[in-house]
Amino acid sequence: MKIIGLSGSLRRSSFNTALLRAAAGLMPDGAELGVETIHGIPLYDGDVEAAEGIPPAVAALKDKVAAADALLLVTPEYNNSMPGPFKNAIDWMSRPPADAARVFAGRKVALIGASPGGFGTILSQNAWLPVLRTLGCELWTGGRLMVSRAGGVFDASGALTDAGVEKQLRDYLAGFVAFAGR
């Protein structure tokens, strides 16, 4: 099983990118998590789309997601919601409308996230729900993973150091892979 993972953060030392990398190393047997990026995706502009088409970085990411069995979104929380760059990337990937179904309709999707605050990413994950519903994704709701106080969960190099969070992540991934394989 091939799953594509996207971090919604552009920050080099992102807790969410660290969480995504940790997930790639904790996948159950028979499943692989490809770590992809939203770097290089420009701000959505309908005039640019009309004049130049879909940007190469967007087209490549769309093809990778469409070829995968599932999609793992690792979302930061900014101002009690999803980050603009992440939403922008998903908006671009839904263009043109005639191609959105190839990328998203029926796609098995899971949400996780990490935050330096005490509430994890519950509001960001909730903000994604209407977007994923609109795109026709099949959201896995069998588990939730919202890593709070992420500064104490990862070391300076971004390695996951908290055994409890590692177990939660491993269990979450096992549940999501089982769901995606149905």
pLDDT digits (tens, 9 = 90+) for 42-95: 999 999 999 999 999 999 999 999 999 999 999 999 999 999 999 999 999 999
Distance CA 158, CA 17 (A): 8
Distance CA 119, CA 128 (A): 17
End-to-end CA distance of the chain: 11
pLDDT band at 41 (very low <50, low <70, confident <90, very high): very high
Distance CA 161, CA 22 (A): 10
Angle at 20 between CA 179 and CA 109, to 5 degrees: 30
Angle at 120 between CA 68 and CA 13, to 5 degrees: 70
**Threshold 0.95, pTM exceeds:** yes
Q: Is 149 left (phi over 0), alpha (psi -120 to 50) or beta?
A: left
Tokens of 132: 């994923």
- 32-36 and 108-114 strand pairing: unpaired
- Per residue in 67-78, pLDDT (tens digit) is 999 999 999 999
- Per residue in 101-157, pLDDT (tens digit) is 999 999 999 999 999 999 899 999 999 999 999 999 999 999 999 999 999 999 999
